Structure 1
Amino acid sequence: MKGLRAMVCVLAVVPVLLVGPDAFAKTIQWKMASAWPSGTQIQWAAEFFADTVNQLSAGRFEIKSYPGGKLIGPLEVFEAARMGTIDVAHASPAYWIGKIPAGALFGYLPFGMDPVPYLTWMYDGEGLDLYQELYAQYGFGYTAPCGILPPEDLAWSNKPIKSMEDFKGLKFRTSGYWGEILTEAGASVVMLPAGEIYEALQRNVIDAGEFSIPSMDETLAFHEIAKHLLVPGIHQPSTILDILVSKKSWEALPADLQEIVKIAAQVTTLRMLTNSISKDIGALESFKDKGIDINYLDPQIQKNLYQKAVTLLDAKAAKDPYFSKVWESQKTFRARYNAYDSLMTPQYE
């Protein structure tokens, strides 16, 4: 009888030894809340990131993605990730300019860099170190760029905007530093949530407004109630999105899964850019087919507004040493990139 018992014990242990110690380990599950509305291109990036992590980890690690308002409010994700209420937030540094004025330099900046030079500065210049410094005081476990948008539409309006005079008295929906620049140009700036822009244009509560890239503006159907579209997106040539990971969640994650998070964030950044451009091409073609009047803002007006932007940003840099450090780094890199670009970009069309 003793021999039989011993054999049973051995047989019971063998399957465990054969499949290995991790075979019955539980899947690590994270909750990620974003600042983005469901169904938008920016929420697409959050979901792409989560899906990429899930696939690369082969079932060991699962991130469940929630759009803004589903789990917590869109503007609550920063504190929720910092306090560990959620594992990770997906948002943009520019959302926090109230507490971090330099956030706009890493989010969306009027007359900032286009995506290619921006990402070159970020990944192969001083950008990433300066970006980490942005969040250092808040005690996150890990932060990283996780998505970038190409240039936005400058304005949807009920009347054409073709001169600096046309900005004076214009009731314009926008936000951030661009709002300060337009105020300096004589516009009356109004801040509205994305979901209220359509009705405000329709009822002439505002004369003009901007929200995002052509494909997202198409989703919001602005072309149904505003027949004039102004480009290019000088107020937002590129928009960085990012992830903010709870310190507790990050430190509990095995090193190989931490690497998967890092890789997935970079993959998301690239794929969001190409996917957005592809969708924007189709959206602009659709606007033309629908008879939308698409106007390219006079370059001289762009130069005029650019000078206002530089004056504003220099003034902010004078009051904030960290802002100044980032702003100077970007200006230095941009000058070097422009010299490269002038030599290496063909001009045959």
Structure 2
Amino acid sequence: MRVVKIMFIIMILIMLPFALCTGGAQEKEVITWVGQCQFPAGSIEYDAFKKACDLINLQSAGRLVIKPNSAGSIVAATKQFDAVDSGTLDFALDTSAYWRDKWLVAPLFDMQIAGMSAAEHYLWFLEGGGAELAREMVGDKYNVYITKAAFLFPPEIFLSTVKPINSISDIKGMKIRTAGDDGEVFSKMGASLTMIPGGELYEAMSRGTIDAFQFMSPAGDTSIGLHEVVKYLYLSPVRQPCSMSMVIVNKSKWEKLPVDLQEVVQTSFLSEAWHFYGRVAQADAEAIQKYQAKGVKIGHPPKEVENAMEKLAGEMYKERSAEDPFYAKVYESKRKWKEMIDSVYNKL
């Protein structure tokens, strides 16, 4: 009997390590997320998005597997918010300019005409209450969580055109693709507006469907060949001093994600965001040479056009603030943040 007991104990000791290993393997849950970027495949923006996703895979030690997709792969770039809300996408890198059909104030989280610089805007979002205001805007109506992760962009091209702009009168009747608040300003100048996904701009310009567009910075536009279909490139930070795309996540998926993995998602994107910003700034300078090689005329828009845009935008923002208390809350938050920065540094 004693021998039997001893053998039993030995068997337990032999099997115990295997049991522990098996149990440990079962505890390692692998979570898979499918995401999409608002930018097309081949663009410098999509490459950065993919780098951030790869970093999440690495930093999570395989616990969170991210499957990135370019614009239009699963849903239209302009419908990513709705796809995240419904669960078709687990997350997306998206611009709030595309959410204007839900909230008039939404584009202010992306950019502001004649507003803050890129660094000022990003710091407002991270530390000045911007992210919290974005979450307040979305509220409980949508199953979408606004993270503090975002990609920051240098000033965009003022306008890429096939027609010269020598005065405000040249804007009148021009068919322009735009996605932000500047559309309303261009409209007040007499332009005819349309919204076309970035991936369709090359064909639209080639066919003459539109005369001009704003999309990205020189590096972003040249990465998908848009320098091949324009004759004039107008550069100025007035229309869009910066822009920012946020990482949005299906709220139910976010709440189920362990806290440490939530941090991995946010810090991975924040880390890549600054590297991306530096690469874009350098790439923009290099991209100008591609325009020059194609014979594109490069310059600044007339001062009267810049001044008119700033004036009309200021009037627009004040009118909206008077009509919408929440719009006024966001606008005032940004104004106070910029005022604080200007009082110390003049500009960041």
TM-score (normalised: structure 2): 0.89
Report the CA distance between 1:98 and its aligned residue. Answer: 0.6
Does the C-alpha gap of structure 1 residues 31 and 259 become closer, same or farther in structure 2, counting only changes over 3 Å? same
The equivalent residue for 1:242 is: 246
Name the SS for the 1:99 alignment partner. coil
The equivalent residue for 2:31 is: 28
Aligned counterpart for 1:151 among listed residues 155, 167, 170 = 155
- Which residue identity is paired with 2:283? K
On the 8 A contact 2:40/2:199 being kept in 1, the answer is no
Once the two structures are overlaid, the 10-residue window that deviates more, 229-238 or 177-186, is: 229-238
Runs of 4+ in 1 over 4 A off after TM superposition: none
Q: Where does structure 1 lack aligned partners over 5 or more consecutive residues? A: none
- Which residue identity is paired with 1:285? Q
Name the SS for the 2:337 alignment partner. helix
On the 8 A contact 1:142/1:250 being kept in 2, the answer is no
Report the CA distance between 1:300 and its aligned residue. Answer: 4.0
Aligned counterpart for 2:129 among listed residues 111, 126, 130 = 126
The equivalent residue for 1:218 is: 222
1:96 and 2:105 aligned:
no
The equivalent residue for 1:271 is: 275
- Which residue identity is paired with 1:72? V
Aligned counterpart for 2:59 among listed residues 40, 45, 56 = 56
Does the C-alpha gap of structure 1 residues 16 and 285 become closer, same or farther in structure 2, counting only changes over 3 Å? farther
How far apart in 2 are the matches of 1:81 and 1:203? Answer: 33
The equivalent residue for 1:9 is: 12
Aligned residues: 344
What does 1:268-307 align with in structure 2 at a 5 Å threshold? Answer: 268-307=272-311
On the 8 A contact 1:30/1:88 being kept in 2, the answer is yes
On the 8 A contact 2:56/2:64 being kept in 1, the answer is yes
The equivalent residue for 2:47 is: 44
Q: Deviation digits for residues 107-166 of structure 1, max 9, x if unmatched? A: 133223221111122222232322222223324355334211111112222232122222
How far apart in 1 are the matches of 2:213 and 2:66? Answer: 35
The equivalent residue for 1:331 is: 335
On the 8 A contact 2:43/2:224 being kept in 1, the answer is no
On the 8 A contact 2:80/2:92 being kept in 1, the answer is yes
How far apart in 2 are the matches of 1:337 and 1:154? Answer: 25
On the 8 A contact 2:167/2:304 being kept in 1, the answer is no
Once the two structures are overlaid, the 10-residue window that deviates more, 308-317 or 263-272, is: 263-272
Report the CA distance between 1:184 and its aligned residue. Answer: 0.7
How far apart in 2 are the matches of 1:224 and 1:79? Answer: 33
Does the C-alpha gap of structure 1 residues 146 and 160 become closer, same or farther in structure 2, counting only changes over 3 Å? same
- Aligned-residue RMSD, C-alpha: 2.5
How far apart in 1 are the matches of 2:40 and 2:34? Answer: 17
On the 8 A contact 1:146/1:268 being kept in 2, the answer is no
How far apart in 1 are the matches of 2:16 and 2:291? Answer: 67
How far apart in 2 are the matches of 1:72 and 1:328? Answer: 34
Q: Where does structure 2 lack aligned partners over 5 or more consecutive residues? A: none
What does 1:125-204 align with in structure 2 at a 5 Å threshold? Answer: 125-137=128-140, 138-141=142-145, 143-204=147-208
Report the CA distance between 1:233 and its aligned residue. Answer: 4.2
Name the SS for the 1:59 alignment partner. coil
Does the C-alpha gap of structure 1 residues 88 and 190 become closer, same or farther in structure 2, counting only changes over 3 Å? closer
Does the C-alpha gap of structure 1 residues 37 and 323 become closer, same or farther in structure 2, counting only changes over 3 Å? same
Does the C-alpha gap of structure 1 residues 340 and 97 become closer, same or farther in structure 2, counting only changes over 3 Å? same
How far apart in 2 are the matches of 1:284 and 1:86? Answer: 35
